[in-house]
Amino acid sequence: MRLLTAKEVANLLQVALPRVYELARKGSLPCVRMGRQIRFHEARLAEWVERGGIGLSKDETQGNA
């Protein structure tokens, strides 16, 4: 399992860093919160991209799927 930083995700998706935080805050972009830090599971991010950027269910976003 590889966790990506918000900066790595921004580079990967070719979007601005604030956009990554906005999508994560809205629950659109699947993420893992560790206190104040935020990380993105590489496989879940790939699934999100394959779905065309459509948000995952609440259970999937929180890792309960």
Does the pTM exceed 0.95?
A: no
pLDDT digits (tens, 9 = 90+) for 31-65: 999 999 999 999 999 999 999 887 655 544 445 44
Chain-centroid distance of CA 43 in Å reads: 10
> In this predicted structure, what is the pLDDT of residue 55?
64
CA angle, residues 38, 47, 43, in degrees to nearest 5 = 55
User: 13-17, 20-24, 49-53: lowest mean pLDDT where?
Assistant: 49-53
Q: Give the mean pLDDT of 15-24.
A: 96
Q: Which two tokens stand for residue 11?
A: 């580079």
In the 3-class helix/strand/coil scheme, how is the chain assigned residue by residue? CCEECHHHHHHHHCCCHHHHHHHHHHCCCCCEEECCEEEEEHHHHHHHHHCCCCCCCHHHHCCCC
> In this predicted structure, what is the pLDDT of residue 10?
97
Return d(Cα 30, Cα 61) in angstroms, integer: 5
> In this predicted structure, what is the pLDDT of residue 1?
85
